[in-house]
Amino acid sequence: MKRALVTGGAGFIGSHLVEGLLTRGYAARVLDNFATGRRENLAEVAQQVEIIDGDIRNLTTVRSAMRGVEVVFHQAALPSVERSVKNPLESNDVNITGTLNVLVAARDAGVQRVVYAASSSAYGDAPTLPKEESMTPVPLSPYAVSKLACEQYLRVFWKLYGLSTIALRYFNIFGPRQDPTTQYAGVIAKFIDCALDGKPYPVFGDGEQSRDFTYVENAVRANLLAAEVELKDSPVVNIACGARATLNEIIALLNDLTQQHLPAQYAPDRAGDIRHSHASIARATEILDYTPNVDVREGLRRTLEWYKAQRKI
């Protein structure tokens, strides 16, 4: 039985990944400081998982969590473009220093592979669509800079130390357990909250900005494939659906799924936000044999049902 460490394993994506690992027959350990992660996210599997309450910025803690581990899924980060614009030092500290600690500890512990949660924000607002991994990154926020810098660290650790690494550039992951109540919540989580409350959808800009929204189950599957496939180098791979939807289209889908006609409430654009995001998933298909199993509409339906069920608890 392989032992996996999931940093940020109590977070939205991390907790889904932990469940996926258990289903796949892994023994799972979680390292999380619960700054943005929640213990409730692991409630259903808590008895099957070793949970370490600790911070990736503490190298001693990371070394301890790394003992006996074969694969590391590095999900821990301080998310949000907006948060990083307001506090770039904290984003840098958690995302870059924390990742360097993970890589050093993984190297020294003889870990077989590190799978890193990278970000599509690295592409910035380059007009070319779809985004291909060979494009020159143009990050527009401290968050994007920090996530991109970590990709470079992964490549260097592969070249210098022979540590097997792969970076998965997530494109707007959404699904159950994404917290809609925080200031930095993902747009779909916020929209679903509005749909269930019968309130207007808050939109920064005209709503015609588009994203390659990706249901969380697709991201979990990509991580599992990335842990087990043979790698020749330290690749960067887009993880998405390979399609895009505007915010106005998402609103129309939610209104259709909830049989409502709630309006959008438009406000000025936010600093650091990009206009369009759309991934090429050709490399993911080639290297990982990845294809998205859940499209946006079905992902929205499942997510909506989960949030409805949570409100009844």
Query: What letter represents residue 173's amino acid?
Result: I
Please state, in angstroms and rounded to a whole number, the distance separating the CA atoms of residues 71 and 308.
Answer: 35
**All residues at 6 or more sequence positions from 278 whose CB lies less than 8 Å from its CB, including other chains:** 129, 130, 131, 210, 212, 240, 242, 243, 244
Question: In the chain, which residues have pLDDT < 50?
Answer: none
Q: What is the pLDDT of residue 193?
A: 94
Whole-prediction pTM: 0.95
> What is 240-276 written as a DSSP string?
S-S--EEHHHHHHHHHHHHT--PPEEEEPPPTT--SB
Domains annotated on the chain, with CATH: 3-174+214-242+280-293 (3.40.50.720), 187-210+244-277+302-312 (3.90.25.10)
Q: What is the pLDDT of residue 311?
A: 87
Q: What is the pLDDT of residue 313?
A: 64
> Minimal CA–CA distance to 219: which of 299, 128, 150, 123?
299
Q: What is the pLDDT of residue 239?
A: 98
Q: What is the pLDDT of residue 215?
A: 97
Q: What is the pLDDT of residue 80?
A: 80
